[in-house]
Structure 1
Amino acid sequence: MGFMRRTVAELVRERWGDHRPGLWFEGRVLSHHQVTAGAAARAALLADLLPTGAEPHVGVLLDNTPEYPMWLSAAALAGAAVAGINPTRRGPELARDILHTECRVLVTERIHLPLLAGLELPGVRVLVTDTEEYADLLTAYEGARPEAGSVSPDDRLLLYFTSGSTGAPKAAICTQGRLAAAGSSLVDHFGVRPQDTHYICMPMFHGNAVIADWAPALAAGARIALRRRFSASGFLPDVRACGATYFTYVGRAVQYLLATPARPDDRDNPLRTGFGTEAGAVDAAAFEQRFGVRLVEGYGSSEGGAAIQRTPGTPAGAIGRPAPGDDLAVVDPQTRTECPAAVFGPDGLLLNGSAAIGELVNRGANPFEGYWRNPAADLARRRDGWYWTGDLFYRDRAGFLYFAGRADDRLRVDSENLAAAMIENILARYRGAAAVAVYAVPDPVAGDQVMATLAPREGVPFDPRAFAAFLAGQPDLGTKMAPRFVRIVERMPVTATNKIHRAALRRAGFRCDEPVWWRPAGEPDYRRFGPADERGLLTEYRARGREGLLPATTRG
């Protein structure tokens, strides 16, 4: 891959001798040189710990502490790869992630040791960072220098798990060359300066934090600031304390921040930019108005197969145009033909969503590097010689692309294809909601019905009449889009990466412990969904042979 000539190891070595502040964590500051020296010591330790002939893989089961970027840098120097281990995984699934990626060394901390209790991890050496034993082990390597070695741009550096609606998570491969190129690209795109500070509050076991936050900071020689775990209440105090100018986000984190009590000094912060995905136009506008910070919605397939860049003149609601060199198309996955351009009404309403929305594919060369030991998943991504992103988009006549959700979040209501993300963007305008998720539940006859889960704002009880009136007043809410079921939760369930846990919501459907309101066909108002309603619906499903489409009840 000729466009990936630099290595992350080179970027790490460039910080040797740089005594400017390089890392902020809980009020402590390390210089770039100290971070690089720590990485060199860990690289030397890793070289001694890895058995001869073993894959050079180290699992990292840590919160966002200084050890995480040091081990990323150490792996780069050693020509090894970090497998980011998700601390929300449990039991056999957690063991499977560690063993599947063939980690012979696992770096963790005492807070996560209970997760490992009772697991069978043959041949895995566990290092616990906040112990005297670990400190003593590193002492012998304190004089190590970040040697050049024989590191190649094609060496694996990351094995990061990507979630899916079915099956075990897949470990996507990212090489030193791709990560270095991604970091440099974002430096150019956002004008990152050495005096900037990148605030990393998204979990570092996920590609969002490493590729879009840590890598550009490393490439520019900027400082990083770490938050052990995302905290909405701790966000602004951290940003002010460390002087953060840039951060990455996912949409749910933005919703958490907007749900905090507003203060007169919210705009008193050093941030210039937030970069992320799925915030939605309504939340992005509210965030900028309240905090004075522009959120830039971006798109880049975690596996590297497709990217969209926001450029001047990008219309409201659009992500941008394809990155240079990418041959991106929106296609119907059934016919493999390109979808027609979007048609908008005078009020901006998408008039032909059923035809215009399709899966985004890259028909040209792309840097997708595959999954670790998963040829079936590789083939699924590379069907027909194209890279299939698994994401739904539509394109306007000028070539701008608009995100419409995940392919597995498509709904089919009365033979009309709908995208959950588009309905969510409309429901996000409802003032009584702190967060909204939309997903499909099977219809008793055919196709799907729309279900929404709503987390009300603090102190604002759900008002079914007000919600129905709100829906009636939305000009872009199509006749098939209004939720049939509305589940009310105190707090939206999220994954470890702060994305809404739609899989869990879909599994529960309308048979859950929280209150559910519904609007039966032909009725104008929402009413409580009770045991008699459930029995009646189940009778309909059985009569049409569709009861098997319903997930088992989750009620205890």
Structure 2
Amino acid sequence: MSTQPGKSPTTLSTSEFLLKTFEIAPRLPSMIFNLIKGLKSIGGKTNNSWGLELERIAAQYPQNTAVKSPDGALTYRELNERANRFAHYLISKGVSRGDIVTLCFENRPELLAAYCGCSKVGAIASLINTNQRGDSLVHSFNLNRGKVVLIGEECCEFFNEARAGIDLSRSTLGMLRDTGQFQPQDITDITSEVERQNGANPSTTKSVALKDTMAYVYTSGTTGGLPKAAVIINKRALSAMFWFGKFVMPVKPTDTIYIPLPFFHTNAITVGWPPALYNGAAVALRRKFSASKFLDDVRQFQATHFIYVGEVCRYLMATPAKPDDHQTTLKYICGNGLRPDIWMPFKKRFGIEKIYEFYGAAEGVGVFTNFLNIDYSVGTSVTPFAIVAYDTENDRPVKGEKGFLKKVGKGETGLLIMEISEKTPFPGYSDKKKTEEKIFRNVFRKGDLWFNTGDMLRNMGFRHAQFADRLGDTFRWKGENVATQEVEKAIDTFPGVKQSAVYGISLPGSDGKAGMAAVIRDENAPLDLSGLVAHLKTSLPKYAVPLFIRFVPDFEWTATHKIKKTTLKNEAYDPERVREELYVLLPGNETYVPVSEEIHRNITAGTYKF
């Protein structure tokens, strides 16, 4: 590999590519055999689904542990029976193929059973992001109204806070008990009713098709605004079973895949869980990720695989190191966003044999996977893709003389686009307008269609790539997509604000981008910074509240009337470059405070744990 001075490798050499290819040679026959077998399972057959695969595995490995968690364990027989009871409950409420069932739970076995129950009926599981609050939460419930809405007891408090704005006029609302401490009001406890249902496989499962939608996952994508519902179809879930479970990673029936990530995100339901189910292996989960409990969980659950996002790995690296951190059953990790600066230190500290970094959007076309185990790379894609030149200042792709887009060379960075075709369809969002916004037309020839990922990748050569940055009006912080339009809307409605522009900036020692807002004051009203913080914490998820605010007299605008954010991003929170008032929300504070030279030094040194 070649590198830029002081940076991680940016290109892949011929010798390393050949060496890595040689290393997987012993697995190659098995990989190809299982790939062909998997492709056949989603090719000729039209009626196959997640629910049908669960029934197959439950029959083959009835006593294998399917789910491990601090809330208890389930064998595959028990998971299948519990899913059947949910399915029969849904059928009793008139739910049929294509209907929507809203699920709002923390990571516990009941969520997995309810999800499987939906699949057996052919219903679409609408997976609510339990971190959302305010308008985002209401929007997610209302965007795809559930015929049945199931709320975990642990989520009732924030659900009730938003309930007035949620349309439940045509929904059956039910609560599933958790600890039993919450006393429900105006919501029926259906726990006993579900438990009384038939535990046998329902007849509906065999009629569910590969093309059927099985889940909605709420994402702000790369265009900002309120969450969109990314469509997950059965074919994608089943593809992930053999792709991640046989081709990419070795997974055996005795293995355990540890997934401390929320199951309303695609890393859990389309990357981590499918290979476990496909092989009769177990998934281990916990309600919320805990860096201090990570190794305890790995050892208790005998985890062999770990599904990550980059931020989680950085949290783990921030915990005090111990001499035996590497002495576990953990061998393989799979996820996205592991940054180059901690890639090798993480691998060494925790004794990881292989890192299967991947790249893919919840709603996207195709996926990049690092199945050759090349360090610092998201791997390659077996489906058509291109990395094209992009003008970041004017926020648009670069076109050549004939009006088509231009591909970048080896070592160069550009916008990743992926071809849309019959073999690589783009399911899109439940909102057709949002779907159309993600499509590029006439890219390299008249009539072709390409999916705009909204992400910048570096061409490493040999069809391999390295993640570089995210474009558009969305950035990631704390493992979540932050939609700038949503944050701007919350800020702009507060007294004393005329207009705002929100963007992400880098912080030392942190993955993703922290939120910063440039604000034009309303001269006719005072602006209370403490009140603004309280307002934002009420209106937005915790991760979306901007850490920095600067006040500006006006904005620079593009020819298409968009606010120019490049200069704002470059100046960031540096008091030497920002001449106007500059404030920061320090950890534990309830108001923004001025960024002094001392505070700026502490931020740069990574003193504050944002």
Please give the TM-score of this superposition, normalised by the length of structure 1.
0.72
What letter is aligned with 2:125? Answer: V
Pairing partner for 1:145 from 174, 181, 201: 201
Aligned to 1:338: 406
* Cα distance in structure 2, aligned partners of 1:101 and 1:364: 25
1:231 aligns with 2:294: no
Which runs of 5 or more residues in structure 2 are unaligned?
A: 1-38, 181-188, 391-396, 442-448, 485-501, 511-516, 518-536, 553-566, 584-590, 594-610
Shift of 1:271: 0.9
Pairing partner for 2:368 from 293, 296, 308: 308
Q: Deviations over 1:117-150 (max 9, x none)?
A: 2424322222221168433202331433244431
Alignment of 1:531-546 (within 5 A): 533-534=579-580
Pairing partner for 1:15 from 51, 57, 65: 57
When residues 78 and 233 of structure 1 are mapped into structure 2, their CA distance, relative to the original with a 3 A threshold, is: same
Identity in percent: 25
Alignment of 1:39-188 (within 5 A): 39-50=83-94, 56-117=99-160, 118-119=163-164, 120=166, 121-130=168-177, 133-147=189-203, 148-164=205-221, 166-188=224-246
Shift of 1:178: 1.5
Aligned to 2:435: 378
Shift of 1:500: 11
* Cα distance in structure 2, aligned partners of 1:216 and 1:143: 25
Aligned to 1:515: none
Aligned to 2:471: 407
Please say if residues 81 and 158 of structure 1, whose CA atoms lie closer than 8 Å, have aligned partners that are also in contact: yes
* Cα distance in structure 2, aligned partners of 1:238 and 1:407: 36
* Cα distance in structure 2, aligned partners of 1:85 and 1:267: 36
Shift of 1:107: 1.7
When residues 271 and 146 of structure 1 are mapped into structure 2, their CA distance, relative to the original with a 3 A threshold, is: farther
Which runs of 5 or more residues in structure 1 are unaligned?
A: 344-355, 411-419, 425-433, 441-447, 457-484, 486-494, 513-520, 539-553
Aligned to 2:534: none
Aligned to 1:318: 377
Aligned to 2:575: 529
Please say if residues 398 and 406 of structure 2, whose CA atoms lie closer than 8 Å, have aligned partners that are also in contact: no
Q: Deviations over 1:415-474 (max 9, x none)?
A: xxxxx99xx9xxxxxxxxx99x9xx9xxxxxxx999533469xxxxxxxxxxxxxxxxxx
* Cα distance in structure 2, aligned partners of 1:397 and 1:91: 45
Alignment of 1:87-486 (within 5 A): 87-117=130-160, 118-119=163-164, 120=166, 121-130=168-177, 133-147=189-203, 148-164=205-221, 166-188=224-246, 189-293=248-352, 294-312=354-372, 314=374, 316-323=375-382, 325-332=383-390, 333-335=397-399, 336-343=404-411, 356-365=412-421, 366-372=424-430, 374-384=431-441, 385-408=449-472, 451-454=505-508
* Cα distance in structure 2, aligned partners of 1:392 and 1:500: 27
What letter is aligned with 1:138? Answer: V
Shift of 1:190: 0.3
* Cα distance in structure 2, aligned partners of 1:281 and 1:102: 42
Describe the SS at the equivalent of 1:370.
coil
Q: Deviations over 1:299-340 (max 9, x none)?
A: 1222140311224374x43222222x3243434324252233
When residues 505 and 404 of structure 1 are mapped into structure 2, their CA distance, relative to the original with a 3 A threshold, is: farther
Please say if residues 128 and 134 of structure 1, whose CA atoms lie closer than 8 Å, have aligned partners that are also in contact: yes
When residues 450 and 185 of structure 1 are mapped into structure 2, their CA distance, relative to the original with a 3 A threshold, is: closer
Please say if residues 357 and 369 of structure 2, whose CA atoms lie closer than 8 Å, have aligned partners that are also in contact: no
When residues 95 and 340 of structure 1 are mapped into structure 2, their CA distance, relative to the original with a 3 A threshold, is: closer
Q: Which moved more, 1:128-137 or 1:204-213?
A: 128-137
Q: Which moved more, 1:192-201 or 1:401-410?
A: 401-410
* Cα distance in structure 1, aligned partners of 2:254 and 2:360: 26
* Cα distance in structure 2, aligned partners of 1:532 and 1:150: 62
Describe the SS at the equivalent of 2:580.
helix
Please say if residues 57 and 101 of structure 1, whose CA atoms lie closer than 8 Å, have aligned partners that are also in contact: yes
What letter is aligned with 2:56? Answer: E
Please say if residues 79 and 151 of structure 1, whose CA atoms lie closer than 8 Å, have aligned partners that are also in contact: yes
Please say if residues 91 and 115 of structure 1, whose CA atoms lie closer than 8 Å, have aligned partners that are also in contact: no
Shift of 1:210: 0.6
When residues 328 and 183 of structure 1 are mapped into structure 2, their CA distance, relative to the original with a 3 A threshold, is: farther
Q: Which moved more, 1:10-19 or 1:333-342?
A: 333-342
How large is the Cα RMSD of the aligned pairs?
3.8
When residues 286 and 455 of structure 1 are mapped into structure 2, their CA distance, relative to the original with a 3 A threshold, is: closer
Please say if residues 55 and 102 of structure 1, whose CA atoms lie closer than 8 Å, have aligned partners that are also in contact: no
Q: Deviations over 1:180-238 (max 9, x none)?
A: 11121111110111111111210001111110111111111111111111111111111
Shift of 1:555: 4.0
Higher RCO, 1 or 2 (CA under 8 Å, sep at least 6)?
A: 2
Shift of 1:407: 1.6
* Cα distance in structure 1, aligned partners of 2:240 and 2:283: 17
What letter is aligned with 1:181? Answer: S
Describe the SS at the equivalent of 1:106.
strand
Please give the TM-score of this superposition, normalised by the length of structure 2.
0.66
Describe the SS at the equivalent of 1:161.
strand
Equivalences, count:
444
* Cα distance in structure 2, aligned partners of 1:362 and 1:169: 22
Shift of 1:249: 0.9
* Cα distance in structure 2, aligned partners of 1:511 and 1:246: 47
Please say if residues 364 and 453 of structure 2, whose CA atoms lie closer than 8 Å, have aligned partners that are also in contact: no
